Amino acid sequence: MNKHLVFVYGTLRQGGLRAMPNLFPDSKFVGRASLRGSLYDLGPYPALLLEESDSSVTGEVYEIDDEILNKLDEIEATAQYWRKQVEVSFDNRSMICWVYAPDARSYPQRRLITSGDWIEYARTKTVWPEDVWPDEA
């Protein structure tokens, strides 16, 4: 099986609702990393907009196999997020990773997360009714 690097920045991070180590125990944590873009609050999860590369977004890199990558494709497609290759900064070097991001036009209502860190932001976030996952409502 092929190996892939994926950058996660939201609920798939450690401390998130669907952390990679819990959801995919066979994923291998590589380390903390960042990339250029803007992070937005869409309610129960964040969105990364790569076209807006004026700030830094915090995340984690995982090594995964084809099977996990295909499962991530399925999960992310339900929210209209698509896989793209991006350059990620990691340990004073850069690497190419997969990342899932939406088409910005799909989410005209969004709140900027100025820290670029979803986990930090989510700890202090006020939950609104629209923030509940559809299957939890």
Domains of the chain: residue spans and CATH: 3-136 (3.10.490.10)
User: To 5 degrees, how large is the angle CA 4–CA 90–CA 23?
Assistant: 45
Say what percent of the chain tops pLDDT 70: 90
Report the first-to-last Cα separation within the chain, whole angstroms: 38
Query: Which pLDDT score, from 0 to 100, does residue 52 have?
Result: 63
Query: Which pLDDT score, from 0 to 100, does residue 137 have?
Result: 39
Mean pLDDT of 70-83: 92
Residues 6+ apart with CB under 8 A from 13: 19, 20, 59, 60, 118, 119
State pTM to two decimals. Answer: 0.87
Query: Which pLDDT score, from 0 to 100, does residue 51 have?
Result: 76
Q: Where are the alpha helices (DSSP H) in the chain?
A: 20-23, 66-77, 118-124
